[in-house]
Structure 1
Amino acid sequence: MVLRVGYVHEHFSSPVLQLAEADNGKTFTLTSCPGGTGQLIAALTNNEVDVAIALTDALITGIARGSTAYKLVGSYVSTPLNWAVITGAQSEYQSIADLRGTTIGISRPGSGSQTVASVMAMNQGWFEPEGDNKVEKLKFKVNDNLEGLNASVNDGSTSAFLWEWFTTKPHADAGEVRFIGSVPTPWPSWLIAAHPSADRAPPAELRAFLQSLTQYARAFDAPEKRQGDNVEFIKSVFGYPEEDVRAWMQTVGYVNDCSVIDSNVLQTTLSILEQAGVVEKPAGGFEIKDFVHSAPGVTRLQ
């Protein structure tokens, strides 16, 4: 069986793109989801992909809210994601504080652009007036992808949106939008999820994919690759300026084993998402094992 793997066509995906080139469709194919993790979760739900490489917080949120379309099977990027807070080129907003009470653009419901906006509100101390430390509910407008989000902050239908810093930096450099702040995630940024059905994602195929991806992630993470090959690859595939690529390479790290999930990452992320009002803890608390694929030999929860 050939796995259908969903991903976001950004620089973080370089190792999986290199693996896909070597695999040449023998064991898996790639499906690009420009709408981000919200689109990836929808693709898993709608039987369009079997595996997704997606954002930690949005994947965990989906399961915490009851999604049965996927379970976590592995880890990918070990470092945080730096979300730029982005507004229109000529908008009135000059700082994150100016955004309170406005409408924030998101790609899709349940996306990282939505969950991290709520973390931003928590960090800013935007609480409900009752005084019970509940983060106030933000107003959101769905704009599908980066193109729609850029348009929304410039036509005034939203005040701002959040997206990964280096992905959006070329738009800011071109004067299309402005950065007014950033929100680094307090968790490692990317995990791997798969449909729980053995018909959609057989354990043997999952195991082989994670093992192969581990090899390519380790190779990409090697110090000698960071100075030369990685830079040239990202420049050629994504067209980013070399100075931006080298700056990003100083901030990113990949896991040593894609089949391992750190239980502390899940617990910490859930705790912060609960504080931010993104998820609600059930009466008995969250069971970490319920978030992880149960097929033997696929995933190790540490």
Structure 2
Amino acid sequence: MPPLRVGYVREHFASPLLQYTEDDGGKTFTLVNCPGGTGQIIKALEEDQVDVVIALTDALIAGIAKGKPYKLVGSYVSTPLNWAIVTGKESKYNSRADLKGTTFGISRFGSGSELMVKLMAHQEGWVKGEGKDLEDIDFKVCNNIDGLVQAVNDGSCSAFLWEWFTTKPWLDRGEVRFIGSVPTPWPSWMIAAHTSPERCPRDNVINFVATLTSYVNDFDSEASRKGKDVEFIKKQFGYPEEDIKAWLETVGYPTDCTKIDGSMLVRTFGILEATGAMVRPPSGFDPENFTNVEAVRVV
């Protein structure tokens, strides 16, 4: 079998995966960077550009509910993702409340950047009547972080939501402002694989996730956090040491990537349904319908 093609976003969260691929050398998997985020990752999965993906929990679950051709096969990051609310350096917006009735930039429809705006809108009560339709909010597709930064500065968008530390270099350079944040009410990253057994043989997927666990455990250890994690991220991404240490204090990984918390999935289903980000499937919210039960344990 050819190596699995693994879609991901090349950022600090991917550090254990990058360490794994350095040792694997392309023997069992190759990486395909998708800088447009989870929306691009899911599209790549549908278009036979990747086989396995590490992507945002909410967007993966919503995609499965819509009939996308993949299932969850593992856990990756156990802590919430902190999304910065980002606006232009000279914009008139200074708080979440100021953004009602405006146009938000997103990378793609179906991406985390869209879903988190919907979550924020429901937290703020920006809905029509008692329904789930958002009130006077529009979206503009900007493809990636560079397009989003341009859009909030040229005024075509009011704001966008993106992971805090990923966006902080633009803040440090004075190109954008942060006016708040929206943490996810669920663990932030999961692993999914295409449902085709030809593209994703069960044993290959199981081996990939199980081996990734050992790299996650090493990265997540106290000793690594104090030393080699900082140096690795600094070398790979060029972040200031103080930002790396601050991020490491906020992030946690599962002790076993081959397990998925079924109760967490049910809670996430309910939140996403309430915000209108997904519709309850005819079969209901059964975690086993969202997971490849031959490749992962639902506990």
Q: TM-score range by the shorter chain?
A: over 0.9
Query: 1:288 offset after TM fit, Å?
Result: 1.9
- Equivalences for residues 51-66 of structure 1 within 5 A: 51-66=52-67
CA shift for structure 1 position 135: 5.0
Letter of the structure 1 residue corresponding to residue 30 of structure 2: T
Alignment of 1:271-286 (within 5 A): 271-282=270-281, 285-286=284-285
Alignment partners' CA distance in 2, 1:299 and 1:288: 12
Equivalent residue number for residue 33 of structure 2: 32
Deviations 1:199-238 (A, max 9, x none): 0010111111011100000000000100110001001100
Alignment-derived partner of residue 299 in structure 1: 296
Which residue of structure 1 aligns with residue 71 of structure 2? 71
Counterpart of 2:187 in structure 1 is 188
Give the conservation status (yes or no) of the 8 Å contact 1:73–1:299: yes
Aligned Cα root-mean-square deviation (Å): 1.1
Aligned partners of 1:122 and 1:135 also within 8 Å: no
Tell me if 1:151 matches 2:164. Answer: no
**TM-score of the aligned structures, taking structure 2 as reference length:** 0.97
Aligned residue for 2:20? 19
- In structure 2, the residue matched to 1:136 is 134
Q: SS of 2:160's equivalent?
A: strand
State the match for 2:48 in structure 1.
Answer: 47
Contact 2:266–2:286 (CA under 8 A) maintained in structure 1: no
TM-score in terms of structure 1 length:
0.96
Q: CA deviation at 1:285?
A: 2.6
Q: CA deviation at 1:284?
A: 5.4
Once the 2 structures are TM-superposed, how far is the Cα of residue 289 of structure 1 from its aligned partner?
Answer: 1.2
1:82 maps to amino acid: N
In the alignment, structure 1 residue 204 sits paired with structure 2 residue 181: no
Tell me if structure 2 keeps the 8 A contact 1:121–1:135.
no
Q: Secondary structure at the match of 2:292?
A: coil
Q: Distance in 2 between matches of 1:283 and 1:146?
A: 36
Closer, same or farther: CA 124–135 of 1 in aligned 2, 3 Å? farther
Structure 2 residue ranges without an equivalent (≥5): none
Contact 1:125/1:135, CA 8 A, preserved across alignment: no
* Mapped contact 1:71–1:194 kept (Cα < 8 A): yes
Q: Displacement, 1:102?
A: 0.4
Contact 1:195 1:201 in 2 (8 A): yes
Which residue is 2:86 aligned to?
86
Q: Once the two structures are aligned, what percentage of the paired residues are identical?
A: 59
Q: Which runs of 4+ in 1 moved over 3 A?
A: none
